[in-house]
């Protein structure tokens, strides 16, 4: 059986979050969906998986909801569902920047279609920023992109304040996995006085879907937030696995390291993993 994975978000003012959470949970359980849906006063952010028909039921219900309405989504297929369970969570933000004065419902940068992205980012006047976390950038990024070396999205404002200046950086382009982080980042930059700010519509996933490898400026793999771990340019899973100890993606080469213990530790945490944590993970391995 082939399963459908749908990822989508929308910045839209939402109220009565408790009742919306209950409705969504009930519907998703009825439709046998798994994945994660985040709700906040600023909008909705989700990646869910199930049969194509059940995914369509959810998308149709959301798009007809009076508080949500139309939104774009992206679909991928997989031979297994890459989630163990369903989670519908209430959050302060659907993507955490930690700056409550930033509101993408009021202003965001200019959306750039994947087919226009190459021309934009090869413009020498454009400063290209990867808004994802450092470990994601290490796995793959666009040619010429700057790595802010952040551990979490909420670290990005500190990078901007220390390294960017509206008077010097006239054109800034930003991207992320599915579009949500870079969209919110452009809202933040506009509030800081930057004027020409662009972001990749639909993110890396949309670009990989639309741009053939022969024309692509993408290099490497793309980390995804489900059991697939990472995908290649053809949107197929790659042999990365997640470390049970620290959650860091582990490549095939790193899996051959003497410091890699499946489900327990990897070269990134082998020497720092506490004995208590190691014992806990070892017991879990034995139970499985």
Q: What is the pLDDT of residues 178-196, one digit of tens each?
A: 999 999 999 999 999 999 9
In the block, residue with structure tokens 């290209």: 128
Starting at the edge strand found earlier in the chain, the sheet holding 171-175 runs: 110-112, 196-200, 171-175, 126-130
- Residue 164's region, left for phi above 0, alpha for psi from -120 to 50, else beta, is beta
Residue 207 makes CB contacts below 8 A (sequence gap 6+) with 114, 117, 175, 200, 216, 218
In the block, residue with structure tokens 């506009």: 190
Q: Which two tokens stand for residue 138?
A: 């290490």
Q: What CA–CA distance (Å, rounded) separates 207 from 178?
A: 9
Distances (CA, A) of 115 to 118, 178, 202, 212, 216: 7, 16, 12, 10, 10
Per DSSP (E only), the strands in 12-107 are 34-40, 43-50, 73-78, 86-90
pLDDT over threshold 70, residue 34: yes
Domain ranges (residues) in the chain: 3-90, 110-220, 248-287
Fold of 3-90: Alpha-Beta Plaits (3.30.70)
Residue 26 makes CB contacts below 8 A (sequence gap 6+) with none
- SS3 letters across 218-253: EEECEECCCCCCEECCCCCECCCEECCCCCCEECHH
Lowest mean pLDDT among 143-152, 222-231, 249-258, 276-285: 276-285
Q: Which residues are catalytic?
A: 176
pTM of the model: 0.92
| Res 288: pLDDT | 64
Mean of all residue pLDDT scores within the chain: 96
CATH architecture, range 110-220:
3-Layer(aba) Sandwich (3.40)
pLDDT over threshold 90, residue 284: no
Q: Taking the chain, what is the end-to-end CA distance rounded to the nearest angstrom?
A: 25
Q: What CA–CA distance (Å, rounded) separates 90 from 102?
A: 19
């Amino acid at each position: 059986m082939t399963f459908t994975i749908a990822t989508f978000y929308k910045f839209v003012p939402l109220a009565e979050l408790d009742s919306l959470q209950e409705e969504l949970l009930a519907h998703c359980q009825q439709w046998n969906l798994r994945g994660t849906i985040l709700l906040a006063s600023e909008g909705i952010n989700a990646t869910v998986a199930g049969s194509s028909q059940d995914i369509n039921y959810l998308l149709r219900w959301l798009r007809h909801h009076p508080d949500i309405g139309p939104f774009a989504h992206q679909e991928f297929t997989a031979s297994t569902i890459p989630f163990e369970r369903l989670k519908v969570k209430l959050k302060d933000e659907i993507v955490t920047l930690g700056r409550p004065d930033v509101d993408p419902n009021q202003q965001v940068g200019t959306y750039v279609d994947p087919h226009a992205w190459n021309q934009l980012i090869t413009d020498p006047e454009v400063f290209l920023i990867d808004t994802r976390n450092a470990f994601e950038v290490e796995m793959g990024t666009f040619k010429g992109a700057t790595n802010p070396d952040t551990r979490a999205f909420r670290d990005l404002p500190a990078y901007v304040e220390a390294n960017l200046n509206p008077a010097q950086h006239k054109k800034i382009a930003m991207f992320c996995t599915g579009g949500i982080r870079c969209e919110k980042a452009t809202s933040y930059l506009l509030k800081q006085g930057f004027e020409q700010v662009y972001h990749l519509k639909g993110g890396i996933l949309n670009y990989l879907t639309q741009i053939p490898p022969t024309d692509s400026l993408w290099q490497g793999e793309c980390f995804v937030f489900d059991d697939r771990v990472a995908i290649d340019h053809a949107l197929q899973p790659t042999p990365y696995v997640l470390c049970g100890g620290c959650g860091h993606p582990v490549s095939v080469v790193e899996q051959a390291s003497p410091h890699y213990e499946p489900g327990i530790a990897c070269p990134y945490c082998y020497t720092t993993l506490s004995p208590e944590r190691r014992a806990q993970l070892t017991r879990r391995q034995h139970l499985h």
